[in-house]
């Protein structure tokens, strides 16, 4: 196995965007109203139930309690969830959140109601005497709205993502040539369509000094594919050449649809669709390094970064994401900052160091988006930072269910 594979396979397997086959060219899901699992015959919005989401008047059996909040170090588990709630409440007080909810297409999901729901849920978590009392209160006071999934039957596909650690340099050298860029101050004023990736950095990724990104270099990386992976992830922890660390987070992007490298390779007959994995993709580019200059420019979506001073990574809503408690969904559909409950098979290491999948339910916050996370049937879970998080994120590849929770009115 070559150097690039050794560096990335165990950690970057979670970057599902590179391998997205089903969703990056997805046909928009029709607006179908569903209540308690029965689809209506009309294709227009109705006040109750809601499109894209299935409203339950009674909690479905699969929406079980979040046992992690009451096992082991309960204070640590609850603190992590409370931290994520605080970040969502912070976002909901921003002008961006006000704008996001002004014309939100799902009736009943208002910014004020989402915020009230979070505050009441937090109070219940802090004041309940037992897990049974807490769960009874949640089920009594909240109504669940299940994502219809891409099959209209509630099936949601889950993957994991993480904050990787890559080698980088604050100055360009013969080894570190591929920049990550700061957000241009005038990005919002750029005329549409935005410049393509090739126009911004050249076909080989080395020509930015000749264009409008000159002077915006934040750091330089060793491999073009590594720099591209950071753009897919939206954040990274960087190990600098002087031994220090820095973190970078999402600061903006150009307005283009995401293009999957895996899908492009399959379409061109370079790799078979069956058994496509990130390891196979990396092996292809290691054997064909010049192909990077052909395939990376096909994804015109270009991501900009800011230094986050070693703080936690931030999602696209400009608030920190919390390991195990933040999810990324399609922001064109799902309510930003909202409380949700997910059910899925979650990977954990057993005593022998082998991965075992356990059926779980977790309360999470919708705090991020992703280029490959499209449609009501896709969720990406933030697992954490570093190698161990990357290993675990790579094991998350399963179907489950997604329920958004609103305080009853």
CATH of residue 180's domain is 2.40.240.50
Q: Are residues 258 and 211 in the same domain?
A: yes
Over residues 329-349, the pLDDT tens digits come to 998 899 999 999 999 999 998
Q: How far apart are the first and last CA of the chain?
A: 58
Q: How far is CA 141 from CA 61, 117, 312, 353, in A?
A: 17, 9, 32, 41
Burial of residue 97 (number of CB atoms within 10 Å: 0-12, 13-18, 19+): buried
End position of a domain, from candidates 307, 328, 344: 307
For the chain, how many structural domains are there in total?
Answer: 2
Q: What is the CATH number of the domain that holds 62?
A: 2.40.40.10
CB within 8 Å of 242: residues ≥ 6 apart: none
Separation between Cα atoms, residue 52 and residue 301, nearest integer Å: 27
Indicate whether 177 and 299 sit together in one domain. yes
Average pLDDT for 124-149: 93
343 closest CA partner among 71, 150, 68, 34 = 68
For residue 11, name the pLDDT band (cuts at 50, 70, 90). Answer: very low
**pLDDT on residue 315:** 85
Question: Are residues 77 and 173 located together in one domain of the fold?
Answer: no
21 vs 228, higher pLDDT: 228
166, 203, 277 from 299: Cα distances, Å: 22, 11, 19
Q: Is residue 112 part of a domain?
A: yes
Predicted pLDDT of residue 212? 86
Give the residues across from 355 on adjacent strands.
349
Residue 10 falls inside a structural domain: no
Q: Which of 185, 205, 186, 209 is nearest to 196 (CA)?
A: 205
118-135 average pLDDT score = 94
Residues 62 and 168 in one domain: no
Residues 187 and 290 occupy one common structural domain = yes
Mode of pairing for the β-strands spanning 355-368 and 339-349: antiparallel
Phi first, then psi, for residue 370 (nearest 5°) are -155, 150
Same domain, 231 and 300: yes
Q: What are phi and psi of 134, to 5 degrees?
A: -65, -50
Looking at residue 123, what is its pLDDT? 98
From 137-151, 200-214, 216-230, the region with the lowest mean pLDDT: 200-214
Residue 339 sits in the same domain as residue 363: yes
pLDDT at 17: 52
Name the more confident of 93 and 22: 93
- For residues 216 and 148, membership in a common domain is answered with no
pLDDT at 41 over 50: no
Q: What's the rounded mean pLDDT across residues 361-373?
A: 91
Range of the domain at 189: 162-307
User: Are the C-beta atoms of residues 276 and 266 closer than 8 Å to each other?
Assistant: yes
Which distant-in-sequence residues (6+ apart) come within 8 Å of 271 by Cβ? 262, 265, 280, 281, 284
Q: Where residue 22 falls among pLDDT bands split at 50, 70, 90?
A: very low
Determine which helix (DSSP H) or strand (DSSP E) holds 91, and give its type and residue range.
helix 74-92
Q: Tell me, what's the pLDDT at 14? A: 40
pLDDT of residue 39: 33
In a domain, 244, yes or no: yes
* Same domain assignment for residues 254 and 350: no
**Domain for residue 8, yes or no?**
no
Higher per-residue confidence, 165 vs 323:
323
Average per-residue pLDDT for the chain: 84
In a domain, 111, yes or no: yes
Select the more confidently predicted residue: 60 or 354.
Answer: 354
Give the pLDDT band (50/70/90) at residue 278.
Answer: low
> Is the same domain home to 149 and 274?
no
Whether 66 shows a pLDDT value over 70: the answer reads: yes
More reliable by pLDDT, 40 or 323: 323
Cα torsion 172, 173, 176, 177: sign: positive
> Is 3 a member of any domain?
no
Coil/strand/helix, residue 31: coil
> How many Cβ atoms from other residues are within 10 Å of residue 210's Cβ?
10
**Lowest mean pLDDT across 10-19, 27-36, 206-215, 357-366:** 27-36
pLDDT at 35: 37
45 against 368, higher pLDDT: 368
Q: Which pLDDT tens digit goes with each residue over 225-271?
A: 999 989 987 888 899 999 888 889 889 999 999 898 988 999 999 98
| pLDDT over 50 (residue 1) | no
Which has the minimum average pLDDT: 25-39, 48-62, 367-381?
25-39
Q: Choose one of 284, 307, 330: the last residue of a domain.
A: 307
Residue 355 belongs to a domain:
yes
d(CA 225, CA 240): 18
Which pLDDT band holds residue 34 (cuts at 50, 70, 90)? very low
- Asked if residue 280 and residue 179 are part of one domain, the reply reads yes
List pLDDT tens digits, range 375-399.
Answer: 999 999 999 988 888 889 888 999 9
Higher-scoring residue by pLDDT: 201, 314: 201
The last residue of one of the domains, among 272, 307, 342, is 307
Residue 124 lies in a domain: yes
Residues 137 and 192 in one domain: no
Which residues 6+ apart lie within 8 Å of 99 measured at CB? Answer: none
The fraction of the chain above a pLDDT of 70, given in percent, is 86
């Amino acid at each position: 196995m070559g150097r690039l594979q050794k560096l990335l396979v165990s950690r970057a397997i979670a970057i599902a965007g590179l391998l997205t086959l089903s969703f990056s060219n997805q046909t928009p899901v029709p607006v179908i109203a569903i209540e308690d699992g029965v689809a209506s015959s009309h294709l227009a919005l109705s006040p109750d139930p809601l499109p894209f989401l299935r409203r339950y008047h009674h909690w479905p059996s699969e929406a079980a309690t979040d046992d992690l909040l009451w096992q082991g170090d309960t204070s640590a588990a609850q603190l992590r969830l409370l931290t994520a709630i605080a970040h969502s409440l912070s976002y909901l007080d921003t002008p961006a959140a006000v704008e996001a909810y002004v014309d939100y297409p799902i009736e009943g999901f208002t910014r004020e109601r989402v915020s009230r729901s979070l505050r009441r849920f937090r109070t219940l978590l802090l004041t309940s005497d037992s897990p049974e009392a807490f769960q009874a209160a949640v089920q009594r006071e909240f109504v669940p709205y299940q994502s219809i999934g891409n099959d209209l039957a509630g099936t949601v596909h889950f993957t994991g993502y993480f904050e990787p650690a890559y080698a980088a340099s604050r100055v360009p050298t013969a080894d570190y040539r591929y920049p990550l860029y700061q957000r241009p101050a005038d990005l919002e004023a750029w005329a549409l369509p935005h410049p393509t990736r090739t126009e911004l950095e050249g076909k080989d990724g080395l020509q930015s000094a000749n264009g409008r990104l000159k002077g915006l270099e934040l750091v330089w990386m060793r491999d073009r594919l590594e720099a591209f992976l950071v753009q897919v992830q939206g954040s990274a922890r960087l190990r600098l050449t002087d031994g220090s660390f820095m973190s970078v987070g999402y600061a903006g992007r150009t307005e283009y649809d995401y293009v999957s490298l895996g899908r492009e390779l399959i379409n061109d007959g370079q790799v078979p669709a069956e058994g496509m994995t990130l390891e196979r993709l990396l092996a292809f580019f290691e054997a064909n390094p010049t192909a990077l200059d052909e395939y990376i420019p096909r994804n015109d979506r270009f991501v900009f970064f800011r230094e986050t001073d070693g703080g936690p990574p931030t999602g696209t809503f400009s608030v920190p994401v919390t390991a195990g408690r933040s999810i990324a969904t399609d922001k064109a559909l799902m309510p930003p900052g909202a409380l949700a409950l997910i059910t899925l098979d979650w990977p954990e290491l057993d005593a022998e160091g082998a991965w075992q999948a356990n059926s779980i339910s977790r309360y999470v916050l919708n705090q991020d988006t992703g280029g490959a996370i499209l449609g009501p049937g896709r969720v990406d879970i933030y697992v954490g930072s570093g190698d161990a998080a990357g290993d675990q994120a790579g094991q998350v590849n399963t179907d489950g269910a997604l329920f958004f929770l609103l305080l009853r009115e």
